[in-house]
Structure 1
Amino acid sequence: MAHVEHLKELYGLPVFHFPEASAGPADLPRPETVAWRIATGVYDAEETWGEVFARFCATVDTTEVRALVVGPWEEAYESSSSKVLEALLAARDRLPALRALFLGDLTYEEAEISWITQADVSPLLAGFPALEEFGVRGSQGLRFPALRHDALRALALESGGLPADVVRGVGASELPALEHLDLWLGTSWYGADSEAADLEPILSGDRLPNLRHLALRNSEIQDEVAAAVASAPVVARLEVLDLSMGTLGDEGAVALLGGQPLTHLKKLDLHHNYLSDPVRQRLTETLGTAGVEIDLDPDGAEEEEDEDEGTVERYVAVGE
């Protein structure tokens, strides 16, 4: 399986890790020039995340901060992000320029993506009405009830298994400015229980009039997702369609080719797939020659044989 990495950029700004207290005095960049990563240790932390954030607020002119990256909090594999949310909301008046927030920038060495314990993140969107980019990694305990946010342009929920109620909450939300939606649907092994039908409110596009980049990826039901996308009204207004990282096979790809025209797309991302060479060739001939950039992977993913069950298994790119 592929592993996620620490963010290097957010809101077009390079990520800068706010130094630990033990590091002593340091030269810090101007507040508006970087995305500030606030983190503590997952194991045997010297400070709590709240203490690091309080020190950050006392050191940096937060009225100029435009982007925040929340890294590990102590015992993130069993303690939810609720205290992090409380600290951020308590400081919202000190963060008037904040436009981007990523919650849970952890790698597998800190906590596997399926172990990261989140909470109801909707208060953050309510508390920061000017936020334009919002991302969350990890879905254990994650809640995203239907909401309205008029400024949000990009939403990403990265997971090894996204619960159906979260998918439905996103689909029922009013996000008129949203241009970029990225959902890692995941696998039932790690909590994914949505069906293609749960995506219908998203695929209709009724509540997403400005959507231009749609990613429904890392799914164990990628063929079913592709079949649903093939006739989805929202596709006609997209520039980028991303169905990568999942178990996409010939069935899903053929459904895409047999659905509405996709030649208007700038890019179709299907990397990490289980496609046969003939279907790869059909995609290239149909879309590649029309000017669509297609990411198919040079070799795709490899099926694995379960000797005990006598079956062949496909795997998503990011699970545990």
Structure 2
Amino acid sequence: MTIHAHLDTFHGLPVRWVGLDPATSSAAPDTVAWRVQAPYAEDEPTLQQRFEELLARVEPTRIRALVIGWWGPGWDGARGDIPIRMLAEAADRLPALEAIFLGDIVAEESEISWIEQDDVTPLLDAYPRLRRLEVRGGTGLRLRPVTHDALEVLRFETGGLPASVARAVGESSFPALRHLELWLGSEDYSGDSRPADWTGILDGSGLPALRHLGLQDSDIQDEVCAAVAAAPVVARLESLNLSMGVLTDTGAEALLSGRPLTHLRSLDLSHHYLSEAMTQRLRAALPGVELDLSGRQDAGKKWRYVAVSE
């Protein structure tokens, strides 16, 4: 997880801050991921001004990756459509853009549940060659079913993912998508999806190239595991991430009783509430799998928490 530190690399490129990083003046446009953000003080350039500064400073047709940082906390009235509209309107100036990280906002700036997002579908519509889209923040987040032939990585980092977003992913067609990661979150923060909402993802019909699936950070992680255990998509996966949630022996038992997992290269179950006996069973059942069982929580706790919520 990187929610406590700004990105220093993205899309395999070092991140450079527009207006703050001296290295920006000498970096070639296609060798770094350019980061723009709104000001903390009223007398500093706005998000749009920083973005225009970038497009004027370097050759925009060579920019491959953008990281969008702070645009203001939700409680201060900042709207999530601001950066989305800004990027969508600039699409014809950014023909080489391959990757967008929307919301490189750390906990010291804003709780993840305070980040105001919006409908991110315009980004996929505007950039048909986009290979990577990562979004942090679930408040107001929306996605409409879409067909996108180039997208390879789709990640939503939230403390609560709206069920409508999970359904839209499953109803979309992403023939090139290899990596899908959803932080489902807590119902207290709009994480209201249930097994019926994951059906389109787990049957894999719109995701023929999928090799990594993450359904993480859920306060119903046992139900997630039960759904995954019966999912057709599992057979083609190379790695599976079910970490960060309220996973108990019930969910682990479902995994052991479901479709075979021995073909996986890795299975991440970190931040869990498993008994020691169950962790031993998992290790014995999956000897060839890189199994992450770190971050064991006290299974006897009355209140159990996901890793990221507020």
TM tier relative to shorter chain: over 0.9
Q: Contact 2:216/2:244 (CA < 8 Å) preserved in 1?
A: yes
Aligned pair 1:285/2:284, yes or no?
yes
- For the structure 1 residues 25 and 206, does the alpha-carbon distance in structure 2 shift closer, same or farther, using more than 3 Å as the test? closer
Match of 1:308 in 2: none
Contact in 1 for aligned 2:119/2:142 (Cα 8 Å): yes
- Verify: 1:296 aligned to 2:286, yes or no: no
> What CA distance in whole angstroms lies between the structure 2 residues aligned with 1:150 and 1:50?
29
Aligned-partner residue type, residue 16 of structure 2:
F
Q: Deviations over 1:117-148 (max 9, x none)?
A: 01111011000000000011001111101111
What amino acid sits opposite 2:17 in the alignment?
H
1:232 aligned partner, one-letter code: A
Check whether the contact 2:98–2:132 (CA below 8 A) recurs between aligned residues. yes
How far has the Cα of 1:43 moved from its partner?
Answer: 5.7
Aligned to 2:105: 106
1:74 Cα offset (Å): 3.3
Mapped pair 1:73 → 2:71: yes
Task: Work out the CA distance in 2 between the residues paired with 1:25 and 1:138.
Answer: 29
What's the CA shift string for 1:255-282, capped at 9, x where partnerless? 1001111000000000000010000001
Q: Percentage identity across aligned positions?
A: 51
| Matching residue within 58, 61, 84 for 1:60 | 58
Contact 1:42-1:75 within 8 A present in 2 as well: no
Normalised TM-score (structure 1): 0.92
Once the two structures are superposed, residues 225-255 of structure 1 have per-residue CA deviations (whole angstroms, 9 ceiling, x without a partner) of 0011001000000000000000011000011
Aligned residue pair count: 309
Moved more, 253-262 or 24-33: 24-33
Structure 1 pair 119–304 and aligned structure 2 pair: CA distance change class (3 A): farther
Q: 1:61 to 1:10 in 2, by over 3 A?
A: same
The TM-score, its normalising length taken from structure 2, stands at: 0.95
CA separation of 1:169/1:26 partners in 2, compared to 1, >3 Å: closer, same or farther? Answer: closer
CA distance in 1, matches of 2:235, 2:209: 12
Runs of at least 5 residues in structure 1 that lack an aligned partner in the other structure: 306-311
Question: For residue 18 of structure 1, what is the aligned residue in structure 2?
Answer: 18
Q: Which stretch of structure 1 is more off in the superposition, 101-110 or 81-90?
A: 81-90
Task: Tell me how far 1:25 sits from its aligned partner.
Answer: 9.8
User: Is 39-48 or 59-68 further displaced after alignment?
Assistant: 39-48
Equivalence for 2:306? 316
Tell me the CA shift for residue 9 of structure 1.
Answer: 1.9
CA displacement at 1:24 relative to structure 2: 8.5
CA contact (8 A) 1:42 1:73 kept: no
* Closer/same/farther in 2, CA of residues 41 and 257 from structure 1, 3 Å limit: same
Letter in 2 for 1:205: G
- Return closer, same or farther for 1:68/1:220 CA change in 2, 3 Å cut-off: same
CA contact (8 A) 1:17 1:37 kept: yes
Answer yes or no: is 1:50 the counterpart of 2:48: yes
Is the CA contact (8 Å cut-off) linking 2:13 and 2:33 kept in structure 1? yes
CA contact 1:230–1:256 (8 Å) conserved in 2: yes
RMSD after superposition: 1.9
3-state SS of the aligned residue for 1:124?
A: helix
**Shift in Å, 1:75:** 3.9
Change (3 A) 1:45 1:71: farther
**Using a 3 Å threshold, how does the CA distance of structure 1 residues 292 and 173 change in structure 2: closer, same or farther?**
same
Task: Provide the rounded CA distance (Å) in 2 between the counterparts of 1:241 and 1:86.
Answer: 33
CA shift at 1:224, angstroms?
A: 0.3
Checking the alignment, whether the CA contact within 8 Å between 1:42 and 1:76 is kept in structure 2 is: no
State whether structure 2 residue 27 is matched by structure 1 residue 29. Answer: yes
Residue matched to 1:9: 9
- Counterparts of 1:25 and 1:188, CA distance in 2: 43
Which shows bigger deviation, 177-186 or 7-16? Answer: 7-16
Letter in 2 for 1:292: V
2-side partners of 1:11 and 1:314: how far apart? 34
More deviation in 73-82 or 272-281?
73-82
Give the gaps of 5 or more residues in structure 2: none
